[in-house]
Structure 1
Amino acid sequence: MNPSLKFMLAFIISLEISIKESLTTNLIIIAAALIYLLFKKIKPKYLLSILIAPFIAAFTIFATLYWFSPHPDKYSAWVLSTRVYVYVLTISCVMIDTTAIEFARSLEQNLHLPSKFAYGVLAALNIVPQMQQAVKKIRTNAMMRGLYLSFWSPQLYFKAIIVALNSAENLAQGMQSHGYQEEALRSTIIKIPLTKKDWIIFITVLILVNVSLFCTC
């Protein structure tokens, strides 16, 4: 499915279940998302992580509304706690077979967002590994001088910001040297197709979710 449509579908579903309470719909979406992830042959370790990570938030919401509320509401507690898993699993379905580059290109080609936005997203994603290496070097250099920079140390982040600004300047100069211009028309090397099949899947899933949302409790 087209990355932009897949993202829009996940966004609309998340928005609709936030407005309308339906425990049945939440459970159906969770089950469908798990089946989709298994169909895409998700790694067991990654699947386990996306099931365990939201548990604290879901359990906190359930406990607050059911055990620690002056007017316990078991149904609302289950609805709100399962929403957490709906959000996590729907986004996981978007990410499972879509790379950052494909998503950025799809936003530019299919949703017609400015090219500077797409290239900015790609630049930010590609600079993350460089920043991780830069932080490691900063901490190593500090330890060689007898200083320990903890994770929350302001000095560490101040130096990391300086490195990021230098990297951003170098990136901007590199793009200009390759002839990049914001308003100029650009050719498409790799096209992200948007087919009728994508629209059919998008509309069908959206209709099924809405039927379940407004016809079940």
Structure 2
Amino acid sequence: MTNNDSTTRGLNPATLTLIMIGIGLPLAFANSVWLNVIVSIIGLLYLIAMRVSWRKAGIVLLVALPLAFGSWISFWFFGTVDRWHLAWMYASRVYAYLLLGMILTMTVSTQRWLVGLHLHFHLPNAFVFGLLGALNMGNRVRREFRRIQYSALVRGENLRLWNPLLYLRIILVSLNWSNDLAEAMTSQGFTENAPRTELISDPLPAWQWVLAIGLIIIYCGAAFGLRPW
């Protein structure tokens, strides 16, 4: 499998991951409403440039609205000092974190993200292929979930979603699948810690590293140096 560079758009997944982590960590300690708003606006502009589905993006933003409003209400009514600033800071932080995650999860496929982390951050092969195998079995898990419920009904048992026996049986089935997956990977020539030929090309231009590091430095300098409201 090869990756056609002409079909990829936007920043490399490794770059987006570095930006998300590099800004997300100091964002937890920054006390700035304006920086939260700026991060949110830049995230929205990137989503617009990537032409994401605004229906999906709108649903995500609406789902987060009660969380942001709840944070605002909590600090406005129960805060002890600078309630106005704290209320807006924590409410805007919800959307800043949300949009930092959306620029990655809504613009990059899971496979391309994991491959990018493997190639550029040296994520282990076993973790990447194992996780991809588990994610690709999602539909099979749902079918097995229904099959266990139907087989229980035949025996006169009604396994509700809150019944621990249902999940115990799924865990047992998943353990068998895990062994099958490991055998399949071995039969296809996979050997852990052995050198492998990389068939997937995922170029990462140097300017994207500079962009990511530059954005992180600018954010940290503004958050802990300038300290805007």
Q: Same fold (TM over 0.5)?
A: yes
Write the deviation string for residues 79-103 of structure 1: whole angstroms up to 9, x where unpaired.
Answer: 1121111111111101222111111
The residue number in structure 1 matching 2:128 is 118
Give the distance between the partners of 2:142 and 2:96, measured in 1 at CA. Answer: 31
1:72 Cα deviation after fit: 6.3
Greater mean deviation of Cα atoms: 127-136 or 21-30: 127-136
Q: CA deviation at 1:67?
A: 1.2
Normalising by the residue count of structure 2, what TM-score does the alignment of the two structures yield? 0.87
Matches within 5 A, 1:30-109: 30-71=40-81, 73-109=83-119
Higher mean displacement: 179-188 or 191-200 = 191-200
Tell me by how many angstroms 1:211 deviates: 4.5
- Tell me which of 170, 192, 197 is aligned to 1:160: 170
Distance 2:55 2:163 in 1: 32
What is the 5 A alignment of 1:160-199? 160-199=170-209
Map of 1:129 onto structure 2? 139
1:71 Cα deviation (Å)? Answer: 5.0
State the distance in 2 between where 1:77 and 1:175 align: 51
Equivalent AA in structure 2 for residue 121 of structure 1: L
- Distance across 2 between alignment mates of 1:123 and 1:203: 32
Q: Does 1:206 align with 2:216?
A: yes
3-state SS of 1:179 partner: coil
Moved over 4 A (4+): none
Q: Distance in 1 between matches of 2:162 and 2:14?
A: 36
Give the superposition deviation at 1:144.
Answer: 3.7
Match of 2:172, as an amino acid?
A: I
Show CA shifts across 1:46-81 (max 9, x none): 111210122222222222211134556121121112
Q: What value does the CA root-mean-square deviation take over the aligned residues?
A: 1.8
Matched AA of 1:150: R
Counterparts of 1:105 and 1:203, CA distance in 2: 21
- Structure 1, unaligned stretches of length 5 or more? none
- Tell me, yes or no, if the aligned pair for 1:107 and 1:113 is still in contact at 8 Å: yes
Query: Normalization by structure 1: what TM-score?
Result: 0.92
Paired letter, 1:106: G
- Judge which range, 91-100 or 163-172, deviates more: 91-100
The answer to which of 53-62 and 102-111 deviates more is 53-62
Contact 2:52 2:107 (C-alpha < 8 Å) held by counterparts? no
- Write the distance in 1 (CA, Å) between the matches of 2:207 and 2:161: 48
Distance 1:145 1:52 in 2: 43
Deviation at residue 29 of structure 1 after TM alignment: 0.8
8 Å Cα contact 1:50-1:89 kept in structure 2: no
CA apart distance, 1:197 = 2.5
SS at match of 1:187: coil
How many residue pairs get aligned? The number is 217
CA distance in 1 between counterparts of 2:183 and 2:34 reads 53
* Equivalent-residue separation in structure 2 for 1:73 and 1:67 (angstroms): 8
Cα shift at 1:177: 1.1
